[in-house]
Structure 1
Amino acid sequence: MKEEKVRIKVRLTEEEKEKLERNSALCGLTQSGYVRQLCRGVHPKPKPPDVFWQLMDELYKAHSNLKECAKYEPSALKLCVEIERLVLDLQEVI
């Protein structure tokens, strides 16, 4: 069963309002969604720029190609592990 949502009113300074608008937009959330996450103790992260996803796509392609090469050159698996580690590190940072 869905929880009933309650409307609240909050007074903010103009500066606070602008910060709420900016931060929620950076995270790809509505202002309500942003505040809800803060209330749950979650600090929303900004959405990564499009270039991040392009980089991830290229890394996945390189990983896939290297896995194919590993059939003929087993040392390519070492590079696959490095790419996997890099992807995980990037995901933690972003």
Structure 2
Amino acid sequence: MNKESDKKERIKVRLSEEENEKLKRCAAACGLSQSEFIRQLCKGKTPKPQPQKEFWELLEALYTVHNSFQKCGKYEPSALSICKEIEGLILELQEVA
């Protein structure tokens, strides 16, 4: 790697108290430092907030239900179509996370 391309520049930014608090909240919600939050914005990326605990609980519940229907598939083939629906829901949830 080229050491020149890895060189970091320090900048100073003045923010109002309200702006500073918003930066802190947004960075924390995304699980990022304030510096990393700003770096991602500069790269044209929009940092996403981390999903809340309830999101992971819902996803875990869907996995459990899916596994149960999959086991029932041996005895009731229609259970496999429900599995496909649940898989679709899981994929949609993972995309928004």
SS in 1 for 2:94: helix
Residue ranges of structure 1 left out of the alignment (5+ in a row): none
Equivalent in 42, 65, 68 of residue 65 of structure 1: 68
Equivalent in 68, 85, 88 of residue 85 of structure 1: 88
Instruction: Please state if 1:20 is matched with 2:20.
Output: no
What is the alpha-carbon root mean square deviation over aligned residues?
A: 1.5
Identity of aligned residues (%): 59
Instruction: Please state if 1:76 is matched with 2:79.
Output: yes
Opposite residue 84 of structure 1, the aligned amino acid is E
Equivalent in 47, 55, 62 of residue 52 of structure 1: 55
Separation (CA, whole Å) in 2 of partners of 1:60 and 1:92: 16
Over 4 Å off, 4+ runs: none
Residue ranges of structure 2 left out of the alignment (5+ in a row): none
SS in 2 for 1:48: coil
Residue 6 of structure 1 deviates from its aligned partner by 2.1
Separation (CA, whole Å) in 1 of partners of 2:39 and 2:67: 39
Residue 55 of structure 1 deviates from its aligned partner by 0.8
State the number of aligned residues: 94
Match of 1:35 in 2: 38
Task: Normalising by structure 1, report the TM-score.
Answer: 0.89
Residue 88 of structure 1 deviates from its aligned partner by 2.1
SS in 1 for 2:77: coil
